[in-house]
Chain A
Amino acid sequence: MIFNKEINCSASVAFWNYWDQEHLEHIHDGYEKFQIIYEDKDLIFSVREVILPLIRLKITTPIFMKQLDKNNLIAFGIIFGVLSETKVFINDIGHDKCSIKVIYKFYLNGWKKLLRPLLKYLTKKWFQKVWEEDFVLKTRRQKVLKYNFKDFVGLPKKINDRINNDEYILKLPLARPKNSLAPLIKIKREDIEFKN
């Protein structure tokens, strides 16, 4: 299933919205508890409780999200025992505007093929709901960044400094305060590299 949308924010701002895990439970009805297991500069592995729309069934799913390119990502989850794949492609299409293409794929085999109509229906509803709830996060963040907003600081003190035409550059992983939710596993990149 493919969804195409356009929105008035830069591709980096839209990507930030997809990468920010901590807004999910506060903005989207249906997202509940979650725990980041591991996080690196271009991937997040987490476990999340989600209440499916309409049928209101609570499921727990691992979610693996990987940045493929500057503004593209892939995510995997499991629903009803079916592996789901979500690809998000974001492109700048002019001044502070971007297009977003989301491709959902479910790996169905055997009896699980019977779930195809249900998954198709739920995915369509889910995408639209999440898109609407996230809309203001993208456009508002774009707005405050244009007013020279700095993360963890806010707007500049002087009104005259509240202007910024520089491109927003997203740095991953997203910065968090020290006492914030931390990944369960802390692995340094050197620890997982092969050593000859």
Chain B
Amino acid sequence: MQSKIFVCSKKEILKKKYINIWVEQWKDEIIVFLDRKDKIKVFSSICPHFGGEIIFDEITNELKCKWHNWRFCVDTGKCLTHKIIGRLKSYDFEIKPGILKKYSAETVDNDIYAILQENNE
């Protein structure tokens, strides 16, 4: 089964570089970011160490935990600091053309939807 969640607009991610958002339906927190090649990526943002918040380090092009500075690969989610079982789960995503927001007369830029494939877990 596939579930699709609206995360943010593309405009927002271009401006902020990364966004963390808690997705209650998936019981997970995700990070959406633009890597060094301006490629959008979506990963779980709960550090497998102790549960800290993952942020994107633009300078090193790595994901890192705010609590203990553990670093993770932006392609695989694998921990680069220590050899551990856990890794950051990656989510597929798609970008759809802007939709009309309920309380706005303007059409927002392309929206980013993260996709959870539960069968692939």
**Residue in contact with A27 in the complex, picked from B66, B83, B121, CB distance below 8 Å:** B66
User: How long is the Cα–Cα vector from A151 to B44 in the complex, in angstroms?
Assistant: 15
Interface size class of B (residues with CB under 8 A): 20 to 34
Whether A154 lies near B46 (C-beta < 8 A) is: yes
Interface residues of A (CB under 8 A from B): 20, 22-23, 26-27, 136-137, 140-141, 143-145, 147, 149-155, 157-159, 162-163, 177-180
Residues of A with C-beta under 8 A to B88: 154
Residues of B with C-beta under 8 A to A22: 68
Question: 25 interchain pairs (CB within 8 A)?
Answer: A20-B50, A27-B67, A137-B52, A137-B67, A140-B52, A143-B51, A147-B27, A147-B28, A149-B46, A150-B86, A152-B49, A152-B84, A153-B48, A153-B84, A153-B85, A154-B44, A154-B87, A154-B88, A155-B28, A155-B89, A159-B118, A159-B121, A162-B27, A163-B27, A178-B82
B76 interface hit (Cβ, 8 Å): no
Question: How distant is B5 from chain A, measured CB to nearest CB, in Å?
Answer: 12
Question: How distant is A155 from chain B, measured CB to nearest CB, in Å?
Answer: 6
Residues of A with C-beta under 8 A to B121: 157-159
Taking chain B's interface residues, is the majority helix, strand, or loop, or is none over half, making it mixed? loop
Given A27-B67, A159-B118, A177-B83, answer yes or no on A151-B27 (Cβ-Cβ < 8 Å): no
Interface residues of B (CB under 8 A from A): 26-28, 44, 46-53, 66-69, 82-89, 116, 118, 121
User: How long is the Cα–Cα vector from A147 to B51 in the complex, in angstroms?
Assistant: 11
Give the nearest-CB partner of A162 in chain B: B27
Give the nearest-CB partner of B53 in chain A: A140
Whether B86 lies near A153 (C-beta < 8 A) is: yes
Residues of A with C-beta under 8 A to B69: 26
Given A159-B27, A178-B83, A179-B83, answer yes or no on A152-B67 (Cβ-Cβ < 8 Å): no
A27-B66, A149-B46, A159-B28 are known contacts; what are 14 more A-B pairs with Cβ within 8 Å? A20-B50, A26-B69, A140-B51, A140-B52, A140-B53, A144-B51, A151-B50, A152-B49, A152-B84, A153-B85, A154-B44, A154-B48, A177-B84, A178-B82
